[in-house]
Structure 1
Amino acid sequence: MHDDAGDVERVGTVPAGLPEARGGAAQATPAPTATGTARARYAYLGPEGTFTEAALLQVTDPTESELVPCLDVVTALDLVRRGEVDFAVVPIENSVEGSVNVTLDSLATGSPLVIVGEMLVPIAFVLAAREGMTLAHVRRISTHPHAWAQCRGWVGAHLPGAVHVPATSTAAAVALLAGDQDAPGFDAALASPLSVRKYGLPVLADGVADNPHAVTRFILVARPGYLPEPTGADKTTLMVHLPDNEAGALLSMLEQFATRGVNLSRIESRPIGDSLGRYSFSIDAEGHVSEERVQATLIGLHRVCPTVRFLGSYPRADGQRPHLRPGTHDADFRAAREWVRDLLAGGTV
Structure 2
Amino acid sequence: MTTFATLGPQGSDGYQAVGQYRPGAKRLLYNRISDIITSFSSGNADFALIPVYNTREGEVKEYFRLMEKLDHGYWVDNIVLPINLSLGAQTPEITLDNVELIIGRSSVFRQCEEYIGQYMPQATLVSVSNLERAIIEFKRTAQASQVLIESEQIIKRSGLHLIDRELAPYNRTRFAVIGNDPHVQSGYDATSIITRPLPDRVGLLVDTLNEFTRRGINILDLRSENDIKTQKLQIYIEAEGHQDGTLLSEALQVIENRVIQEKNCIKILGSFPRVDMRVKKIKSFGFIGTGDMSIWFAKKLENEGYKT
TM over 0.5: yes
The answer for the alignment partner of 2:164 in structure 1 is 205
What secondary structure is seen at the aligned counterpart in 1 of 2:20?
coil
Instruction: Pick from 59, 62, 65 the counterpart of residue 102 of structure 1.
Output: 62
Higher relative contact order (CA 8 A, sep 6+): 1
Q: What pairs up with 1:70-149 in 2 under 5 angstroms?
A: 70-131=30-91, 134-135=94-95, 136-149=97-110
The answer for the alignment partner of 1:253 in structure 2 is 208
Note the alpha carbon deviations across 1:127-182, whole angstroms, 9 max, x for none: 1112366134321111122221221222222223112111227xx16x63356862
The answer for the alignment partner of 1:34 in structure 2 is none
Gaps of 5+ in 2: 284-294, 301-308
Instruction: Pick from 21, 42, 52 the counterpart of residue 59 of structure 1.
Output: 21
Q: Residue 40 in 1 paired to residue 13 in 2? A: no
* Residue 275 of structure 1: how far off its partner (Å): 2.2
Contact kept in structure 1, 2:198 and 2:233, CA below 8 Å: no
Q: Residue 239 in 1 paired to residue 199 in 2? A: no
Cα RMSD (Å): 2.7
Contact kept in structure 2, 1:239 and 1:311, CA below 8 Å: yes
Gaps of 5+ in 1: 1-38, 330-349
Letter in 2 for 1:222: G
Quick one: structure 1 residues 93 and 144, their matched pair in 2 at CA, closer, same or farther if it must change by over 3 Å? same
Quick one: structure 1 residues 56 and 137, their matched pair in 2 at CA, closer, same or farther if it must change by over 3 Å? same
Contact kept in structure 2, 1:118 and 1:218, CA below 8 Å: yes
The answer for the alignment partner of 1:216 in structure 2 is 173
Using the size of structure 1 for normalisation, the TM-score is 0.72
How far apart are the structure 1 equivalents of 2:44 and 2:109? 32
How far apart are the structure 2 equivalents of 1:177 and 1:205? 18
What secondary structure is seen at the aligned counterpart in 2 of 1:246?
coil
Aligned length: 278
* Residue 264 of structure 1: how far off its partner (Å): 1.3
How far apart are the structure 1 equivalents of 2:224 and 2:276? 25
Contact kept in structure 1, 2:99 and 2:122, CA below 8 Å: no
Identity of paired residues, percent?
22
How far apart are the structure 1 equivalents of 2:135 and 2:89? 7
* Residue 201 of structure 1: how far off its partner (Å): 1.7
Q: Residue 196 in 1 paired to residue 132 in 2? A: no
Quick one: structure 1 residues 106 and 133, their matched pair in 2 at CA, closer, same or farther if it must change by over 3 Å? farther
Letter in 1 for 2:202: A
Quick one: structure 1 residues 112 and 272, their matched pair in 2 at CA, closer, same or farther if it must change by over 3 Å? farther
